[in-house]
Amino acid sequence: MPFIPHTEEDIQKMLETIGAQSIDQLFDEIPTHLRAGALDAIPPARSEMEIMRLMSDRAEQDSGALCFIGAGAYEHHIPAAVWDIATRGEFMTAYTPYQAEASQGTLQLIYEFQSMMTALTGLDVSNASLYDGASGLAEAVLMAIRANRKSKSKRVLIAGTVHPLYKKVVNSIVHNQQIELVEVAFDSTSLTTDVSALAQYEGEDFAALIIAQPNFFGTLEDIHQLTDWAHQQKMLVIGVVNPTAASLISPPGEWGENGADIAVGEGQPMGIPLASGGPYFGFICCKQALVRQMPGRIIGRTVDLDGKEGFALTLQAREQHIRRSKATSNICTNQGLAVTAATIYMSLLGQEGIERVARACHANTNRLVGLLSAVPGVEVISTGPRFHEFVLRLPKSSRLVLEHMAVQGVLGGHDLSDTYPDLENCILVCVTETKTEQDLNGYVNALEVSLKELETVEC
């Protein structure tokens, strides 16, 4: 019985204590006809050795490609120390820190995490994390609607340059509460949100404006103008940001005259592996005045009976286990283990290190853009200032080119064709600090070979 320590003798002793004849008798309150039969669709038990073998083969199947896909999940170097320490049993196998005295490790760590996120975003307060960036944005929308005292609207403006999957997730989560997302069209030349496109919404009542920086296309928005416009319209500003980029480019707290009100984003770049999409974590930060509208757990610093510093869950009156149907959100778990890793990552890198990573990503991206200028037929159409992604237009079917590149072991980018009819045969390419000169040449080579193959096929 894997993981069950009971011997036959233990079982007999326990049944005697209980006064039962058999384990089955303990289920005698359950109508017999409800009992499950054999679970034939479930395979029989295997040993750890067998499972390792099976799963190593499967992991191997998914390995070996050079990845230039970003689109919301980014490959970065993760220091070995990060997960070595995050996976110590005391962090990994603890529960939510309900017993504060026996959970000071996790509690202090989250307090430090909150401090780091406020430092990076330039805002006042942070929570202990949300599930991911996309659902975090949904929570930010709900929060903005609750928090904006100048607006009674349940409508929110969202830049068209925000990640398309984020828009879907937000909609899935908020639409049952009759909340409406109104999308601002983006400029298909600059691939940014033109402030002039906002003019039509002037005077209307929206609870908030959502902007992404860098935006989904990797391009930098004029966030100062956008922020100031929204504030003039009495909207709150929600910034969707990349934490790596925030070390280099203007963070939400510095946007416009007064800074964004809420910042959310995907925490994955801070030491979390790509890992098929999770567990990642969403972060949310805001101005001090909004703290009581923030969803999820928050850790505060306080003192114990002896006046000694300590940490505890605070403002729990916002949460579901206290407020039930009146809570700010139904959220219960955070992404504690991912936050643990991120906190160690941010400590190891610091501002200097994260900025170096950001700069290396940026430089490598520009380097690939430079190399691509020599490839006939392709065009980098995102020409404005960028962070670490760009949009490449291909002379052939983007789906086919990507397939051909994949066969050569290069994941060439994320296909934009289906989502954006204006961007036919365009792909979103990401280059991080992990890519060497040789990798970039490998990209170009795979692309050229693929284009040539497709040329031949068509002849």
Partner 1 sequence: MLIFERGVKGRTATAQAPLVKAEATDIPDSLMRKNKAALPEVSELQVVRHYTNLSRKNFSIDTQFYPLGSCTMKYNPRGAHRVASLPGFLNRHPLAPESYSQGYLASVYELQEILKEVTGMAGVSLSPMAGAQGEFAGVAMIRAYHEKRGDHERSEIIVPIAAHGTNPATAVMCGYKVKEIPVLNDGDVDVEALKEAVGPQTAGIMMTNPSTCGVFERQIEVIAKVVHDAGGLLYYDGANLNAILGKVRPGDMGFDVLHMNLHKTFATPHGGGGPGSGPVAVGERLLPYLPTPIAGIEDAGGEPDYCWLGEEALPDSIGRLSAFMGNAGIILRAYIYALFVGRDGMQRVSEFSTLNANYMAKKLADAGFDLAYKDRRATHEFIITLSKQAKELGVTAMDFAKRLLDYGYHAPTTYFPLLVPECLLIEPTETESIDEMDGFVDAMIQILKEAESSADLVKGAPYTQPVKRLDDVKAARELDVSYKP
Nearest CB to partner 1, comparing residues 120 and 238: 120
Please report how close the Cβ of residue 414 comes to partner 1 at its closest, in angstroms. 5
Please report how close the Cβ of residue 364 comes to a second copy at its closest, in angstroms. 12
Please report how close the Cβ of residue 390 comes to a second copy at its closest, in angstroms. 22
Interacting residues with a second copy (CB under 8 A): 47-49, 52-53, 77, 79-80, 84-85, 87-89, 433-434, 436
Please report how close the Cβ of residue 357 comes to a second copy at its closest, in angstroms. 9
Taken as a whole, the chain contains a residue count of 459
Please report how close the Cβ of residue 200 comes to partner 1 at its closest, in angstroms. 25
- Report the alpha-carbon distance of residue 58 to residue 281 in Å, rounded: 26
Residue 374: name its binding partner from partner 1, a second copy, none (Cβ under 5 to 8 Å by kind): none
Read off the amino acid at residue 422.
D
Locate the DSSP E strands across 317-362.
none
Please report how close the Cβ of residue 459 comes to partner 1 at its closest, in angstroms. 25
Residues 6+ apart with CB under 8 A from 432: 70, 74, 75, 76, 357, 360, 361, 364, 388
Instruction: Quote the tokens at residue 242.
Output: 């990349």
Residue 98: name its binding partner from a second copy, partner 1, none (Cβ under 5 to 8 Å by kind): partner 1
Nearest CB to partner 1, comparing residues 170 and 201: 170
- Report the alpha-carbon distance of residue 309 to residue 390 in Å, rounded: 47
211: nearest Cα among 154, 136, 157, 287:
157
Residue 434: name its binding partner from a second copy, partner 1, none (Cβ under 5 to 8 Å by kind): a second copy
- Report the alpha-carbon distance of residue 179 to residue 190 in Å, rounded: 30
- Report the alpha-carbon distance of residue 357 to residue 359 in Å, rounded: 5
Nearest CB to a second copy, comparing residues 53 and 150: 53
Nearest CB to partner 1, comparing residues 201 and 388: 388
Residue 349: name its binding partner from a second copy, partner 1, none (Cβ under 5 to 8 Å by kind): partner 1
Residues 6+ apart with CB under 8 A from 169: 134, 135, 137, 138
Residue 114: name its binding partner from a second copy, partner 1, none (Cβ under 5 to 8 Å by kind): partner 1
Instruction: Quote the tokens at residue 196.
Output: 């002039």
Please report how close the Cβ of residue 101 comes to a second copy at its closest, in angstroms. 22
Nearest CB to a second copy, comparing residues 264 and 357: 357
Residue 232: name its binding partner from partner 1, a second copy, none (Cβ under 5 to 8 Å by kind): none
b/e burial code for range 156-190 (CB count within 10 A of at least 16 → b):
bbbbbbbbbebbebbeebbeeeebebeebebeeeb
Please report how close the Cβ of residue 424 comes to partner 1 at its closest, in angstroms. 19
Nearest CB to partner 1, comparing residues 150 and 300: 300
Nearest CB to a second copy, comparing residues 85 and 400: 85
First and final C-alpha spacing in the chain: 63
Residue 436: name its binding partner from partner 1, a second copy, none (Cβ under 5 to 8 Å by kind): a second copy
Nearest CB to partner 1, comparing residues 160 and 296: 296
Reported as half-sphere exposure (CB side, CA atoms, 13 A), residue 281 has a value of: 27
Residue 431: name its binding partner from a second copy, partner 1, none (Cβ under 5 to 8 Å by kind): none
CA distances from 409 to 197, 327, 400, 427 (A): 41, 48, 14, 17
